[in-house]
Structure 1
Amino acid sequence: MAGTSTDQQPRTPFLSRPGVRRFTPFVVITAIALVFIFQNRTDTKIRLLVPEVTMPLWGALLIAWALGMIACAFVRRRRRDRRTRQHRA
């Protein structure tokens, strides 16, 4: 009998799942970073090689945070691709 209730596997608690355990630090660090970014609202001068730009500090911090997240995504993707190639060979 395939549909009986005794065939069910026990459920893992939500916080013990591997996907949640990997995602939780990202959420916490992102929340702290965003609070820090939006608390710094003064204007600042930023030199971009030659031109000097005046912009809100939160904008510069947000751009730096976004570039860091993009770099992290590329590194994780590259590691994952390298791992799958090693398993195939």
Structure 2
Amino acid sequence: MTHTSPDQGRTPFFSRPAVRRLLPFVLITAVALVFIFENRASVEIRLLIPLVTMPLWVALLISWALGLLACAVTARRRSTRHARRGG
């Protein structure tokens, strides 16, 4: 009778592919959010025609969210294109 330890055959947490892909995102997001919320001054921003006064952190947060949305759309489009092509 052989005795196997429960850890045998498990991949270390930080070696898992999903964690390795997610870790840079989490770190960049944390730094970005600190930067965004440290900039609390009100600024004037021109949105094509109107001139809007708002806190800088709101403008930065909107830009960050739009960047995340663009990244998600691009990644999804890329994955469906690769799946359709067969790899």
Regarding TM over 0.5, the answer is: yes
Gaps (5+ residues) in structure 1?
Answer: none
TM-score of the pair, normalised by structure 2: 0.90
Q: How does 1:5-20 map to 2 (within 5 A)?
A: 6=4, 10-20=9-19
Normalized per residue, the structure richer in helix is: 1
TM-score of the pair, normalised by structure 1: 0.88
Report how many aligned residue pairs link the two structures. 84
Letter in 2 for 1:53: V
User: Residue deviations 1:27-56, cap 9 Å, x none?
Assistant: 000000000000000000000111000000
Letter in 1 for 2:10: R
Q: Percent identity?
A: 64
Name segments (4+ residues, structure 1) moved above 4 Å.
none
1:87: which partner in 2? 86
**3-state SS of 2:10 partner:** coil
